[in-house]
Amino acid sequence: MTNQQTSTALSVTGLTKRYGDRNAVDNLSIELPAGVVAGFVGPNGAGKTTTMAMLLGLVRPTAGTGTVLGASIDHPAAYLSRVGALIESPAFYPSLTGAENLRVFATIGAQDTARIPALLETVGLDGRGEDRYRSYSLGMKQRLGIAAALLGDPDLLILDEPANGLDPQGVREMRGLIGRLAGTGRTVLVSSHDLSELEQVCDWLVLIDTGRSLYQGPTSDLLKGGATGLIVVPQRSADHPALRDLLVNRGHEVELSDDRLTVSVNGADVSDLAASVNRAAFDAGMVLVELSPNRTTLEDRYLSMVHGGAR
């Protein structure tokens, strides 16, 4: 992950795409700092792919303005040479090999074909570049799609569901690949349904639903303050009731379940609360083996925002 958040890689205001009576994207505004790895999250039909297609000049917006890498989205030719994209599914010529496909697309984009072997290696397809595309597994096709997106050494990568259809091993490899790409300082906008993967790899999030923005900002900000409880586990299970009584007497809201106590945060600083609980247990002669915030996951926050009317 990078921290180059000094300029804007992408900015759109009031972006709208209407199909008949339905707004696929509805007055969406996004600002993406340069250098972040941004997760683009939303349920099926939320407008993620349509938004990306508008940014890439494939779909004409009904309304809205914006810039990508400083150039107006009305003139994609001004910035597409600096953008690499994998949108919807990888699309290549089945009868050509992976390397031949990259050669064709590099020729179209006036990009350096000498980089093809290195790119195949980057995405883990070295040794398979001379195989026909039609013989590739889904994971290999996705990786070739990433290689094609990287042909022009882009400043901005737009990846639409790059882990779609991959097995767990493939998902992990894709996460590693995106992580490595993030380390090169480029801006990455990646959509995915796998929220735990996004949580691990993205330092910026854009959440949308029914074409509208729910949240955009640092991942840490979304998850910060989301800790609802403090998990406390004493070494001896016999201490559970005594510890609960102790904490309740000190004014905490405590829930005892299975082998742990959960102390409600109730707006308090989690670190201060943890220190207070630890001190109380120590003073009572109890040893704690776990004292950790019950962190809200991206999935928790996402589901509460999408289904909880948080907009």
Helix boundaries (H) for the chain: 48-55, 98-108, 116-122, 138-149, 168-182, 195-201, 219-223, 240-249, 270-283, 298-307
Tell which one of 88, 126, 221, 245 touches other proteins (CB under 8 A).
88
Between the CA atoms of 9, 62, 78 and 185, what dihedral angle is there, to the nearest 10 degrees?
20
Number of residues that bind other proteins (CB under 8 A): 32
Tell which one of 77, 114, 238, 289 touches other proteins (CB under 8 A).
77
Q: Is 131 in the site for other proteins (CB under 8 A)?
A: no
Q: Is 76 in the site for other proteins (CB under 8 A)?
A: yes
Q: Which residues, numbered 144-173, are part of the site for other proteins (CB under 8 A)? A: 148, 152
Tell which one of 85, 182, 205, 273 touches other proteins (CB under 8 A).
85
Q: Is 96 in the site for other proteins (CB under 8 A)?
A: yes
Nearer to other proteins, 60 or 180 (CB): 60
Q: Is 114 in the site for other proteins (CB under 8 A)?
A: no
Residue 138: strand, helix, or coil: helix
Q: Is 104 in the site for other proteins (CB under 8 A)?
A: yes
Q: Is 238 in the site for other proteins (CB under 8 A)?
A: no
Instruction: Report in angstroms how near the CB of residue 32 gets to other proteins at its nearest.
Output: 19
The continuous run of DSSP H or E covering 77 comes out as: none
Pairing of β 37-41 and β 254-257: unpaired
Instruction: Report in angstroms how near the CB of residue 95 gets to other proteins at its nearest.
Output: 8
Q: Is 100 in the site for other proteins (CB under 8 A)?
A: yes
Pairing of β 8-19 and β 63-68: antiparallel
Nearer to other proteins, 75 or 172 (CB): 75
Instruction: Report in angstroms how near the CB of residue 144 gets to other proteins at its nearest.
Output: 11
Q: Is 130 in the site for other proteins (CB under 8 A)?
A: no
Residue 221 one-letter amino acid = D
Tell which one of 20, 21, 110, 249 touches other proteins (CB under 8 A).
110
Between the CA atoms of 188, 194, 199 and 204, what dihedral angle is there, to the nearest 10 degrees?
30
Q: Is 38 in the site for other proteins (CB under 8 A)?
A: no
Structure tokens at 285: 């002669």
Instruction: Report in angstroms how near the CB of residue 76 gets to other proteins at its nearest.
Output: 4
Burial of 79 per CB tally in 10 Å (0-12, 13-18, 19+): buried
Q: Nearest Cα to 20, choosing from 48, 62, 65?
A: 62
How far apart, in whole angstroms, are the C-alpha atoms of residue 262 and residue 244? 9
Nearer to other proteins, 87 or 274 (CB): 87
